[in-house]
Amino acid sequence: MTTHWPHAAAWLSLAALLAGCGVPAASVPPSRVERPPAPRPGTGLPTAPAPAEPGSGTGLSTVPSPSPPAPPAARVPRPELPMYQGSSPRRVASVSRTERARELLRSGQYTLALMELERSLSLDGSNPYAHYYLAVSHYRLRNFNASLDFLEVAEAVLASDRPWLAQTLVLRGDNLRALGRFKRARAAYRKALTLDPANPSAHRGLLWARQRSKAVSW
Amino acid sequence: MKRGFKRFLIRFLKIVAALLVVLGLAGAALGAWYVSHLSGVVKAKFEGRKWEFPSKIYADSKIIYPGMYLSTDEVRDKLRRLGYRVSKARPRTKGEYRILGKNAVIEVYLHDFRYPLRDFRGFPVRISLKSGTIHRIQRLDDNEVLPSLELEPELVTGFYDRVREQRRVVRLDEVPARVRKTVLAVEDERFYYHRGVDPVAVMRAFLANVRRGGVVQGGSTLTQQLMKNFFLGSERTLERKVKEALMALITEWLYTKDQILENYLNEIYLGQNGAQGIFGIWEAARFYFVKEPEQLTVGETALLAGLIRAPNRYSPYRSAGEATRRRNVVLAKLVSDGIITRRAYEHALQEVFEKREPVRLTNSAPYFTDYVKKELAEHYSEDTLTAEGLRIFTSLDLEIQQAAEKALSEGLARLEKDYRHLRKTAKQDDLEGALVVIKPQTGEIKAMVGGRDYGKSQFNRVAQAKRQPGSVFKPFVYLAALTHGSAQGSGSYDSTTYVEDTPFTWSYGEKEWAPQNYNRSYEGWVTLREAMEKSLNAATARIAQDVGIGKVREMAYRMGIQSRLPLLPSLSLGAVEVTPLEMAGAYSALANNGVRTHLLSIKNVLDRDGDALEKRHIRVKRVLSPRVAVDVHNMLRGVVERGTAQRMRALGFTRPAAGKTGTTNDSRDAWFAGYTPDLLALVWVGFDRQSELGLSGSSAALPIWTDFMKRATSRLPVVDFVTPPGASARGADPRTGMVPGPPRNALARAVAR
């Protein structure tokens, strides 16, 4: 304690204050009581505020007007595509986490999904779906360049699976479109359609990119 | 005379009276000033930052899943480190576990844990093992079978200032009434009936002390104790006692009883765990009983309250007998005061303190935590790190870290034993080493050992030492060749392209450079693959000359080397200075089919309230075409199977692996950078003061790497490298990457003829 004080003053003050001893403290008037700020309650499930989805709802948040039709990636792309579970227990565990992340994406919890996918990848670094859905998460969080980076990996590892490869190309197109690179976006959608001619997302994306491209040139 | 004296006396008395009045007024003014001053001191404490909260560093959480290799001992060790306690019956409260039926079943009631962005609520779970692997993971509350289970991350260390205090602050309503009542019964039973100083208690203590002829009892109230802990030392002087009493009175005037009690329960010192003091009821409950206050039994609550008088003397870790005696005294007081029933008293007397060792918080990754601290220092002040109670979640894997520490220290000791010259040199310059482990697909730093003994030297050789990499640099030359081809117009390169391994002179500017092979022997015409496998200097330098040293440098930068690289021919043989960490990062692209990952040590930073301050995510970047990456990767596999690192197999590591040895020309540095499908590890061995090591990477660094990998991968399934479809050279053997058939460039065909 660094405070110095004169003895006499202390004794005098003590004598004066002791006079009030032995009285129940409840008698202290509440007006003299100051409360420290209450600590923040420790419960709840905070989630990062989800930014506007690129391509969701009206879908035009990523690109300035004029407003084109709703883009194709408003939902989790092709959730019906099955993920290959593989025979390795580690892959099974990793894919089950990817599946959980897919549910988080569906419910709009993109940051949580991203973290879950990173755990999935940490568990099994060669899980191709983790790479693909990491790209989806980044796309939803508007990190388009990061999304494209993950797609580079996903495309390489999913190259032998036509529907999945088509899906990665659709997402590539969505990212490129969001970045305003319409020509390359169209090329990605076209390539996706050559792999999977019935891919509805690729059709929609191509249509949208054409219209957008026309609108920009016009 | 008499009248004169009387008048004098009256005048004198008047003067004295006036003096007394003046003195009294002065004293009152002084007293008022002093009280106001002390009020300021008390207010500043109560309303400002009362305690310093060290930031805490956590390792990565562990995910377990059916099919994973795991022994009961590993689970037991992990649970013990996480602060779980053994239970004889089925775990009913959080933090308990039991092992059943010849170690085949483990039942755990998981702790709650606040992860970044989500609160995990603990639940009971059964982990069944079969033949050393997890057979099934099932919740015990709703019988759901789980595909995987995440165990909370271990605490690695805290960032402390001068005072090493462990404390978790709780609100008063988070402390059960039983705990509050017990503490008050023992320390200040008239707490709610005095105003800071209790004359009854003072008198009682005075009489007791007089009767016993010494100090046997104190009369301090709980408020006085709080003042002593907050502001005053433990010196036994009248001056201190008066000041303590004054401050107690002021505090009671300014604050409610509940506020004072809450502060007391958070402030009180309750023991010592190594260098760290245990403060507050919550931290003490956790330290002594691995429980939260609401989980404490009557006996445990009694001991906790009893500990306040002399925490280290009555600690159950020190003496179960002393602790039990003290607990019984408190229990007797509780029953006599009517706080507990006689039945509860009898029951509590039967409680036995299990013999346990405290979980010591020893920083098992000091170089890593230093590295993390340095990274954090870019965004957070020292004061924030030591006092604001941040929670920092990292990528560290403590089991891999342990394996790395052991492999390095034992490996260096083995080298000193096997090579006498290293011992002689060690008198002036200690043999040192560094080992860093990365998960190549995510860039997470899983372990970091920056030296042999952190106690002796805190210099982190992984992140701070700039050393010549020697041949570990060579893959960048081959990558440049495969990516860009010849700058002289002689075509493209692949792994079967022939190059000449003969002495030559490289003229640049006005200078000349003549690269020589390690043992001065030359192979003549060799393929790129052979040149890499045998680490041939002359052949590599010729490739660099053909490709252009600028392209080699550009490739090294592209792969993640950040140190400044001079544009000199000797760059091709690694005659530059880089840190082991950047070299390991650069190799991650080779282990990951051409995708470079950014190194990641800090994943999340949360403030004391659990709000995220920072999130760092995995970042990837394709820096090589898959085909080029796979070609060089296959060459590095050849290094292990047939080349300079083939000793790895003789040392007993049989899993798929790739890597490159490195030895500098002056034999001052020995390296091995290698990877399996799951982990990338880099080992450096040398002397801090650049004394001559006289050993190659294969002799000095490779055995340490092999020992580490044997330990770190022993519980992982054997998996082979995954080559992306279409990335292999056409017609290449998928196992070896070798292309059958005649050599593919014109020069090679000519040689073959």
Domains in chain A, please, with CATH? 77-217 (1.25.40.10)
Tens-place pLDDT, residues B26-65: 999 998 898 888 889 888 888 888 888 889 999 999 999 9
Where does B444-752 sit in CATH, by number? Answer: 3.40.710.10
Measured between CA atoms, the residue of chain A closest to residue B627 is A156
**Contact status, residue A78 vs residue A201, Cβ threshold 8 Å:** yes
Does the pLDDT of residue B746 top 90, yes or no? no
Q: How far is B505 from chain A (nearest CA, A)?
A: 42
Predicted local confidence at residue A22, as pLDDT: 35
Amino acid at A42: G
Write down the pLDDT at residue A67. 37
- How many Å apart are CA B477 and CA B555, to the nearest integer? 8
Using a CB–CB cutoff of 8 Å, tell me whether A19 touches chain B.
no
Q: What percent of chain B has pLDDT over 90?
A: 66
Contact B117 A11 (CB under 8 A): no
Average pLDDT over residues B718-727: 80
- pLDDT band (50, 70, 90) for residue B2: confident
**Structure tokens, B251:** 């505090």
Is B74 a known active-site residue? Answer: no
Cβ–Cβ gap B148/A39 under 8 Å: no
Taking a C-beta distance cutoff of 8 angstroms, is the pair A111, B581 a contact?
A: no
Q: What is the pLDDT of residue B542?
A: 95
**Residue A162 to residue A5: CA distance in whole angstroms:** 84
At residue A40, φ and ψ (nearest 5 deg) are -70, 135
What integer is the mean pLDDT of A5-30? 38
What pLDDT, on the 0 to 100 scale, is given for residue B732? 52
CA distance B336 to B332: 6
Angle (nearest 5°) at CA A106 between A101 and A109 = 65
Q: How confident is the model at residue A85 (pLDDT cuts 50, 70, 90)?
A: low
Choose among B132, B154, B153, B147: nearest CA to B714. B132
| B194, A25 contact by CB (below 8 A) | yes
Name residue, tokens 């230093």.
B370
Chain A hits for B47, Cβ within 8 Å: 34, 36
pLDDT class of B215 with cuts at 50, 70, 90: low
Pick the residue of A11, A14, A139 with the most B CBs within 10 A to test the interface with B by mutation: A14
Chain B contact for A64 (CB, 8 A cutoff) = no
In chain B, the residue whose alpha carbon lies closest to the alpha carbon of A146 is B619
User: Which residues are CB-contacts of B222 (< 8 A; sequence separation ≥ 6)?
Assistant: B184, B187, B188, B191, B260, B261, B264
Contact B68 A90 (CB under 8 A): yes
Mean pLDDT score, A183-206: 91
Residue B285 · residue B261 · CB < 8 Å: no
Using a CB–CB cutoff of 8 Å, tell me whether A50 touches chain B: no
Flag the least confident range among A6-10, A175-179, B631-635: A6-10
**H-assigned helices in B455-579:** 474-484, 528-533, 537-547, 549-559
Q: Which amino acid is at B557?
A: Y
* pLDDT tens digits for range B625-668: 999 999 999 999 999 999 999 999 999 999 999 999 999 877 89
A39 shares contact with chain B (CB less than 8 Å):
yes
CA distance linking residue A115 with residue A95, whole number of Å: 14
Distance, in Å, from the CA atom of A166 to the CA atom of B81, rounded to the nearest integer, reads 47
Best residue in A43, A153, A160 for a mutation probing chain B (most B CBs within 10 Å): A153
Does A4 contact chain B (CB < 8 Å)? no
Closest CA to B575 of B530, B537, B526: B537
Provide the residue type at B565 as one letter: L
CA distance A202 to A209: 10
The arithmetic mean of pLDDT across residues B410-426, rounded, is 86
Tell me: the pLDDT tens digits for A63-74? 333 333 334 444
Q: How far apart are CA A4 and CA A81, in angstroms?
A: 77
pLDDT beyond 50 at B135: yes
- Range with lowest mean pLDDT among B356-370, B464-478, B562-576: B356-370
d(CA B401, CA B447): 5
Classify domain B62-154 at the CATH topology level: Penicillin-binding protein 1b fold (3.30.2060)
Position A156 confidence tier, pLDDT thresholds 50, 70, 90: confident
B133 contacts in A (CB within 8 Å)?
A: 89
- Write down the pLDDT at residue B468: 95
Determine the Cα–Cα distance for residues B224 and B206; give it in Å rounded to an integer. 17
> Cα distance from B178 to chain A (closest Cα, Å)?
22
Write the pLDDT tens digit of every residue in A21-46: 333 333 333 333 333 333 333 322 22
Tell me the two tokens of residue B657: 């692996």
Counted across chains A and B, CB pairs separated by less than 8 A come out at 202
Averaged pLDDT of chain A: 70
| pLDDT of A16 | 41
State the DSSP H helix or E strand holding residue A27, giving kind and residue range, or none if neither. Answer: none
Question: Is the separation of the CB atoms in B252 and B292 below 8 Å?
Answer: no
Q: Outline where DSSP puts E strands in B395-510.
A: 431-439, 444-449, 498-501, 506-508
Q: Residue B740: pLDDT band by 50, 70, 90 thresholds?
A: low
DSSP designation for B467: B
SS3 B666: coil
Give the pLDDT of residue A217.
Answer: 57
Task: Give B751's pLDDT tier (boundaries 50, 70, 90).
Answer: very low
DSSP B311-355: TTTS-TTT-HHHHHHHHHHHHHHHHHTTSS-HHHHHHHHT--PPP
Pairing between strand B155-159 and B55-58?
antiparallel
Flag whether residue A49 sits within 8 Å of chain B, measured between CB atoms: no
pLDDT above 80 (res B578): yes
Is position B457 annotated as part of the catalytic site? no
Q: pLDDT class for B208, splitting at 50, 70, 90? A: confident
**What is the Cα–Cα distance from A107 to A138, expressed in whole angstroms?**
15
What is the tens place of the pLDDT at every residue in A96-152? 999 999 999 999 999 999 999 999 999 999 898 999 999 999 999 999 999 999 999
CA atoms within 13 A on the CB side of A137: 27
Query: Which one is catalytic: B220, B471, B572, B728?
Result: B471
pLDDT of residue B1: 61
- Whose CA is closest to B81, among B111, B50, B49, B125? B111
- A9 has pLDDT over 50: no
Residues from chain A that touch B616, judged by Cβ atoms under 8 A, are none
SS3 B288: helix
CA of B720: which chain A residue's CA is closest? A126
Q: Is A31 on the interface with B (CB under 8 A)?
A: no
Checking if the pLDDT of B739 tops 60, the result is no
The pLDDT of residue A36 is 30
Per-residue confidence (pLDDT) for residue A215, from 0 to 100: 66
> Residues 138..157 of A with a Cβ closer than 8 Å to B: which?
146, 149-150, 152-153, 156-157
User: Contact at 8 Å (CB) between B283 and B165?
Assistant: no
Q: What is the CATH number of domain B165-349?
A: 1.10.3810.10
DSSP bridge pairs for B507 = B512
Confidence of residue B679 (pLDDT cuts 50, 70, 90): very high
Residue spans of the domains in chain B: they are 62-154, 165-349, 444-752
3 state SS of A49: coil
Topology agreement, domain B62-154 and domain B444-752? no
Tell me if B257 sits within 8 A of B265, measured CB to CB: no
| Per-residue H/E/C for B178-237 | HHHHHHHHHHCCCHHHCCCCCHHHHHHHHHHHHHHCCCCCCCCCHHHHHHHHHHCCCCCC
pLDDT at A72: 42
Residue B429 pLDDT exceeds 70: yes
